[in-house]
Amino acid sequence: MRRLFEGRHAYVTRCLHCGHSAPPESSFFDMQVPVRGCASIAVGLRRSFEPSFLTGDNRYACGACGERRDAVRYQEVRRLPPMLLLNLERFAFDMETLERRKTSDAVGVSGSRGRPRPGRRRAGRGPARRR
């Protein structure tokens, strides 16, 4: 099962002053995709890889500088598995009510499910051509 579904990723925090980062690498078996406010799964995937900046009161304690510094934090995929499972995050925490709420946002699927095989018909593309 690991051979099919295990991937490797790292959450990188890089100091913007000296560039130091020491990201621990770890395994994953599925990828969390936020869907709230996303028109498609592709948009949700892009959002989950957007960097966040640690500034002000939220500065990073850099081990190389020995001080709290501005930093950037992001997720980096090191190795994708042959079969990638996507887990759609359909629940969000409501800070006003302190409860989990299910999102009812519509989410589209864009792109194809892989490369078509020669001689196979793709939906909406007409009959397969013979060579």
Of 55, 52, 47, 15, nearest to 31 (Cα)?
A: 47
Cα separation values, 81 from 5, 42, 61, 74, 86, Å: 5, 18, 33, 20, 12
| Model confidence at 118: pLDDT above 60 | no
Place of tokens 């690991």: 2
The mean per-residue pLDDT over the stretch 30-41 comes to 89
What structural domains and CATH numbers belong to the chain?
A: 2-102 (2.20.210.10)
The overall average pLDDT reported for the chain is: 84
DSSP symbol at 116: P
The mean per-residue pLDDT over the stretch 83-93 comes to 88
DSSP symbol at 108: B
